Amino acid sequence: MSDRETNGAGSPGEATRQHATLTIGNEQYELDVRRGTIGPDVVDVGNLYKQTGRFTYDPGFTSTANCKSSITFIDGDKGELLYRGYPIDQLAENTNFLAVCYLLLYGELPTNTEFINFRRTITNHTMVHEQMTRFFTGYRRDAHPMAVMVGTVGALSSFYHDSTDITDQEQREIASHRMIAKMPTIAAMAYKYSIGQPFIYPRNDLDYTSNFLQMCFAVPSEPYIVNPIISRALDRIFILHADHEQNASTSTVRLAGSSGANPFACIASGIACLWGPAHGGANEAALNMLKEIGSVDRVPEFVAKAKDKSSGFRLMGFGHRVYKNYDPRAKVMQKTCHEILDALGHRDDPLLKIAIELERIALQDEYFIEKKLYPNIDFYSGITLRAIGFPVELFTVLFAVARTVGWIAQWKEMIEDPEQRIGRPRQLYIGPPRREFPAE
């Protein structure tokens, strides 16, 4: 394929004048090549089966684009992440999570008036149906909060029937706002339930993240004052997690939504996928790993173990399917981690010392250099969240709160895409061929 400048005009996403030629034995086939705004061109194999009677094989979708999207872009080699074109570090530095929600949903940063209106709309939806409090009490006291989230968010569809018709643009909009507004309330309820404290209602005079903090940490018997440093840091953490292109949970939401399932059910499926330790559960796993290492002098032992394939051990918070460079979110997270530990007087946190030493050793080690394994966002987020006061079981829940807007924006984009069809991957069958049921 020739380079981007010469491969034909047309809007991003359209076929270029270039073609890829596929040779199978003596047969040759021409395949369209599509070009995005930035990023690699894609070879369009949508008609391959019709043309050739063959499928493509790509477990884990390492080379397969499943959709067109204009929301988020990652350059894994450069270590760059853009939301609607804006670099993640600039957004984290200069704006707030709710403005980023607006950006992801509508494509542009909000004007002052747009922001005020959007905040009012979201704020209007922060409470959950009162009957949900009774729904919560059906869970076991010691249930993992992610189990509670999967069930409760799925159950939203039974409480909000009036926004489940996905063919109605207005209902889609209301469902999107409800989801962004109610997720912190549900997450805080899951936490409160797990520690046996009363649910705290949302306070609409507070900003999005401060309100979430008060729902998690306030108790009815005492006044609660939000620490602005913590609120700002958590808001930034939410920005960093808001969207990440076609990752496993987002692809799950798209796949669930492709059948026409309602948005609450789709987001519940995203939460289920996020729960896994290779995805959203990694910050919990990274913190547990730092605790297991226990002291700086044991770091080399664990690095050696991570390099030994037979151990089955990996450095949690290291490596990424797409980033083959330092995860740009990890840089902001590292800075936020230091800010929070300084502000809260935890500068000597032994886990931070272990993390710094682990990063230092791994980044110099040939194994990690050769495989391009760098710290990802989860490496420092666990330490930060723990310092703020969140228990480890809640880490993935916080991720889900932040990622909800990304899931919703991607779900909306899919529903509104005229090319959208039900997702239905094919397979390479390796089981027994047809055989007859044995006669007596």
Q: Can you tell me which of 110, 154, 319, 382 binds ligand ACO, judged by CB under 6 A? A: 319
Candidate ranges 11-19, 69-77, 369-377, 413-421; the one touching ligand ACO (CB under 6 A):
369-377
Angle of helix 395-415 relative to helix 145-159, nearest 10 degrees, comes to 40
As measured in angstroms, the least distance from the Cβ of 277 to ligand ACO is: 7
Catalytic residue among 235, 244, 320, 349: 320
As measured in angstroms, the least distance from the Cβ of 235 to ligand ACO is: 18
105 CA to centre of own chain: 15
179 binds ligand ACO (CB under 6 A): no
Cβ–Cβ under 8 Å, residues 175 and 263: yes
- State the alpha helices, DSSP H only, in 168-227: 169-195, 208-217
As measured in angstroms, the least distance from the Cβ of 264 to ligand ACO is: 23
CA distance 225 to 227: 6
CA distance 251 to 366: 33
Q: Give the per-residue contact string, 373-402, with ligand ACO (x = CB under 6 A; - = no).
A: x--xxx------------------------
177 binds ligand ACO (CB under 6 A): no
Catalytic residue at 320? yes
What is the residue-wise DSSP string for 231-296?
HHHHHHHHHHHS--SS-HHHHHHHHHHHTT--HHHHHHHHHHHHTSTTTTTHHHHHHHHHHHH-SG
Q: Can you tell me which of 24, 219, 278, 304 binds ligand ACO, judged by CB under 6 A? A: 278
| 216 CB burial (10 A radius; 0-12, 13-18, 19+) | buried
Find the binding residues for ligand ACO in span 321-360 (CB under 6 A).
321
As measured in angstroms, the least distance from the Cβ of 376 to ligand ACO is: 4
219 binds ligand ACO (CB under 6 A): no
Q: Can you tell me which of 91, 100, 306, 388 binds ligand ACO, judged by CB under 6 A? A: 306
Cβ–Cβ under 8 Å, residues 40 and 73: no
Of 48, 198, 80, 105, the closest CA to residue 404 belongs to 105
Find the binding residues for ligand ACO in span 401-440 (CB under 6 A).
none
- When the beta carbons of 43 and 285 are compared against ligand ACO, the nearer one is 285
CA distance 324 to 77: 5
Cβ–Cβ under 8 Å, residues 45 and 30: no
Q: Can you tell me which of 177, 178, 232, 320 binds ligand ACO, judged by CB under 6 A? A: 320
Binding site residues, ligand ACO, CB under 6 A: 278-279, 282, 306, 314-321, 371, 373, 376-378
- Residue positions annotated with a catalytic role: 320, 378
